[in-house]
Structure 1
């Protein structure tokens, strides 16, 4: 029997707004609205898009040793994460694989953690199994999560509280919006400037309606969220990274803090560290995640096999679509390491045909984060 889908606090509003709903990570989620995926994508790049990401898991870690305890589970510097700052991290397993990727914020008196919806239950179990007794895990179930993304996001949100304009990329702060205390970070999953806003669930519809009342803002569904993140080279957990891929294979070295991979007392100390640090030192991995641009107009989807010029199978596409901003098919996937160099031509099998693609540097379109 199929499990009943969960809904976010904004579900009724999506229905009212004419969203096309689809199952996603156990939730009934909007994949697109009346504009359609392509126009939603372009609108977010040019103006401001509003996303309901309330399906994500929101957690708090309390206790004096919370940062030390979390740092033992991720290859990222958490102990020295300044108050009011956010950082990208990922849980690793003993084989060096990635259990999930997440965002960690230091709010001073606690750590605020956002995890992927599909991994929420396993992440909670993983934390409970590994946190010491003096660190408390709190699952936040009474807050929604909105993302306002795009070049006009700051201008729009500043109408509700001008202080948001003073934030830079990866800043996080507690601020009032419409008289409601919200947890706001200047970050997102589109490659554009923008904010993620954790708001009490019973106040989320009023906030969403207020934002949608501005002419710059449109609802954006999962379809455009996927093409936006893909154009900017951002991984989707369960597709581009999973328990069988290491951060080195996944080209995520930037996500491993230098103190955790340099010689010193902070080096290693996370699950799978020996394997991951060995791969970093030797650069010896059989495959690498790469960006791919199609030379035809046909999109290449996830699961398409990749071949070299001699028809040898050399990899697989893990995400793929047509990039409306790039104006070409964009994809990412894994290829043999000796074929990962920029400019290498490969061929994707689509409906029995071999379509030419070229390994290209990611992001495919510039990231526009506000770094001050």
Structure 2
């Protein structure tokens, strides 16, 4: 157990990180992520208000659907990344990172608190059930969840508790995130762990799973000094927010972010994936050099991939080194380790799209 964001969190259970990682890839792993922040925005202007803080299409998101979002500062840097969901009836459900939640809520209240009702949910638990057999295990307890597809969700009932379940996660696998009242969280966790497919998974395997999936960790791979184009997150900025029309721009840092999208040559760094040519783990914040020994970037997340049995990493490099196939050298204990720029995700995702 380790302290994290004011909570005591499990790094690993008895079987260990590698076994937990493989179990999630092969069956179903249960993560207690109740440290994450949960809140609702309510009101007729809530969608437009939330959209004013992010470069993503909020107003066009259909009821019952979820989307990835980015809170930006005035310089276009990422304050936090989050998931938001259209629950209908002018209600939007948000999940933000645990270490950022108090700052996020204060930011949202300061900027749009006069435009919608902001309801924080500090007593809600959050469980993530991930892996190819997650649907089998969860549907025994909560019939109907099997009808959900990736990035959709709905309300369900279990033993008198109202659950809000989305088919999404942070592992690259099919799976679910379950918002549950705090006084029912342990009972639901134990009921899930009683299923033959399910084992508990700690923070260590959560990190290795998300890295194989090529997903950013806030504070490592994105932060308030990196913009979405630098972080290779242009895909998260829908066309309606980029060009023409009344909803283009209008978010914090828009001038800088849109200029970077329009002129990629203006970037001074870019996030990439790396795979090592030899079996030497490369961890953050390893310096990256070119063949001439010049500094060209640094690693932001890195480890030995349990699935690929090769060292993988996310890193920022100068744009001329960002093309797939480019070779750079990570400095590990003073020795260069050859790494090749590779597309992410490192493993094909297995989301259930229907």
| 4+ long deviations beyond 2 Å | none
Kept in 2, the 8 Å contact 1:160–1:178? The answer is no
* Separation of aligned partners in 1, 2:159 and 2:317: 49
Matched with 2:78 is: 98
CA RMSD of aligned residues (A): 0.8
- Using structure 1 for the length normalisation, give the TM-score: 0.93
1:177 deviates by: 2.4
3-state SS in 1 of match to 2:300: strand
1:81 deviates by: 1.2
Match of 1:314 among 267, 287, 296: 296
* Separation of aligned partners in 2, 1:250 and 1:130: 25
Matched with 1:18 is: none
- Mapped pair 1:354 → 2:336: yes
Matched with 1:14 is: none
Match of 1:368 among 333, 338, 350: 350
* Separation of aligned partners in 1, 2:115 and 2:286: 47
- Using structure 2 for the length normalisation, give the TM-score: 0.98
Change (3 A) 1:134 1:315: closer
* Separation of aligned partners in 2, 1:211 and 1:119: 28
Matched with 1:13 is: none
* Separation of aligned partners in 1, 2:4 and 2:224: 20
3-state SS in 1 of match to 2:110: helix
List per-residue Cα deviations over 1:126-162 (Å, max 9, x = no partner): 0111015241111101210000000000111111122
* Separation of aligned partners in 2, 1:355 and 1:24: 31
Instruction: Give runs of aligned pairs for residues 203-352 of structure 1, distance below 5 A.
Output: 203-283=184-264, 284-352=266-334
Matched with 2:118 is: 137
List per-residue Cα deviations over 1:240-297 (Å, max 9, x = no partner): 0001100000000111111001211111010000000000011120111000001111
Matched with 2:19 is: 39
Change (3 A) 1:134 1:244: closer
* Separation of aligned partners in 1, 2:142 and 2:12: 29
Matched with 1:26 is: 6
1:36 deviates by: 0.3
Kept in 2, the 8 Å contact 1:172–1:186? The answer is yes
Kept in 2, the 8 Å contact 1:292–1:357? The answer is yes
Matched with 2:54 is: 74
* Separation of aligned partners in 2, 1:238 and 1:69: 26
Match of 1:62 among 37, 42, 50: 42
Matched with 2:164 is: 183
1:80 deviates by: 1.5
List per-residue Cα deviations over 1:52-82 (Å, max 9, x = no partner): 0000000111111100100000011111211
* Separation of aligned partners in 2, 1:146 and 1:327: 28
* Separation of aligned partners in 2, 1:216 and 1:172: 22
Matched with 1:159 is: 140
Kept in 2, the 8 Å contact 1:319–1:332? The answer is yes
1:178 deviates by: 3.2
Unaligned runs of 5+ in 1: 1-20
* Separation of aligned partners in 2, 1:177 and 1:240: 37
Matched with 2:176 is: 195
3-state SS in 2 of match to 1:159: helix
3-state SS in 1 of match to 2:256: helix
Matched with 1:172 is: 153
